[in-house]
Amino acid sequence: MQVRSVRSAPVQRIVYAALAAGLAVSGSVAGHEYHPEGWAPFDAWAYLLTCLVALPLAWCRSAPVVALAVSCAAYTGYLALDHQPSLNWWAPMIALVSVAATRAPRVSLASAALTGAVILYNGVCGRLPAILVLAQGLLIPAIALAFGHAMRLITQRNLELRRLSAQLANEQAAHARTAVLGERVRIARELHDVVAHHLSAISVQAGLAAYVFHSDGATARSALSAVADSSREALDELRRLLSMLRVDDVGDEQGDGAPRHAPPGLSRVGELAERLGAANVSVTVRTRGTVRKLALGPDLCAYRVVQEALTNVVKHAAPTSAYVHITYGADQVTVVVRDDGRAPGDSHGPAISAPESGYGLIGMRERANLCGGSLSAGPRRDGGYEVRLTLPTGAATPVPDAPDGSEA
């Protein structure tokens, strides 16, 4: 198995070329200037073989085994001509380190055996003691293999680090896409709730205004005023939701630290009741227990569930009566929305639509699950329909001077 370095190829080529040129020049200069007695003169063959020993290092990156073989062959020829042996023996060692760093262990061991044989021949030609010749032939290739193996491990770890970094970047990008998709789904759900509620109220009130336009001007004007109010509130909520998509609105807050477009919560259920009153739907809101400020997510969830349930009352049961009971317990809040069924003489079914008739209850259940709560819905025995939402309050804080048992 070959291991490629993470360092850029042009830089490696320059390094190896500079090293080869440096060894060739230094060996030639040393051979020319330093010539001990007992060795053949440093002639043209010596210059040529010195260059052949060193210059193959320039190809150590692309073909380290070939570079080692050529260097060892040239060094063997240099020694066979009885030239001074101490000048050129570094080049085969460097080539062996390169082989051990980039090639499989079996190739490295074979290359080490070749280099060891050349070193043994170098010791014999240098007339060294047998024990020193043997030590050089064994230790020097072993040290070169150790250095090469260490470089190989570093390269493998760098490659693995690059792979893990790329994998982490891909996972982060996938998580970001998932988060964006989830946010789009949440905004789409918010838009559905806002548009469905306000358009349902506008439709009923506009129909009432058209019906009594000539016979009851005051009622028609009241209905048209309710249409205008619902339209303005719908536009305000749509602006708030769409502002979430603006990059420059992120973290934009008022001077008091409150969000510029605060989402609605249970504190605004009374406003829903007032608007639906103009559509001939009497909504009674009752609160029990100590009113507390819920976290943003559960508070918005409870409001949207009430809004969806009352919207279904308007669409499927008006004119009728609806009741919203909000109970604050020790560690949870329970919201119950029920109606008394369709108007007398209309027996087309319950007011609030069942899951199979639309996505209203599916969306409400999904909201409750996301907030760690539960939601149940179904027809009542004595007529009408009921939606019951239970949410954990978590670290909710009491609202000062909140009236218990208040009614709207």
Exposure letters 255-282 (e unless 16+ CB within 10 A, then b): eeeeeebebbbbebbbebbebbebbbbe
The proportion of the chain whose per-residue pLDDT surpasses 70, expressed as a percent, equals 78
What's the confidence (pLDDT) of residue 26?
Answer: 83
What's the confidence (pLDDT) of residue 287?
Answer: 92
Task: Show the tokens assigned to 333.
Answer: 């809040």
Q: Cβ-count burial of 405 within 10 angstroms (0-12 exposed, 13-18 middle, 19+ buried)?
A: exposed
What's the confidence (pLDDT) of residue 389?
Answer: 93
Q: Which helix (H) or strand (E) holds 323?
A: strand 320-328
Task: Determine the Cα–Cα distance for residues 89 and 313; give it in Å rounded to an integer.
Answer: 95
**For the segment 54-105, what is each residue's pLDDT rounded down to a tens digit?**
888 888 888 889 999 999 999 898 888 888 887 787 889 888 998 988 888 8
- pLDDT beneath 50, residues of the chain: 5-7, 247-260, 344, 346-357, 395-397, 400-408
**For the segment 100-117, what is each residue's pLDDT rounded down to a tens digit?**
888 888 898 999 999 889
Entry field: residues in the chain: 408
List domains and CATH numbers for the chain. 9-169 (no CATH), 280-408 (3.30.565.10)
Q: Cβ-count burial of 335 within 10 angstroms (0-12 exposed, 13-18 middle, 19+ buried)?
A: buried
Q: Cβ-count burial of 368 within 10 angstroms (0-12 exposed, 13-18 middle, 19+ buried)?
A: buried
Task: Compute how many other C-beta atoms are within 10 angstroms of the C-beta atom of residue 283.
Answer: 25
What's the confidence (pLDDT) of residue 231?
Answer: 77
Task: Determine the Cα–Cα distance for residues 278 and 33; give it in Å rounded to an integer.
Answer: 111
What's the confidence (pLDDT) of residue 151?
Answer: 87
Task: Compute how many other C-beta atoms are within 10 angstroms of the C-beta atom of residue 86.
Answer: 13
C-alpha closest to that of 400 among 256, 328, 296, 293: 293
Task: Determine the Cα–Cα distance for residues 13 and 332; give it in Å rounded to an integer.
Answer: 70
Beta strands 281-288 and 332-339 are: unpaired
Q: What is the dihedral sign for C-alpha 165, 168, 174, 176?
A: negative
Question: What is the chain's Cα-based Rg?
Answer: 43
Angle of CA points 127, 132, 136, to nearest 5° = 105
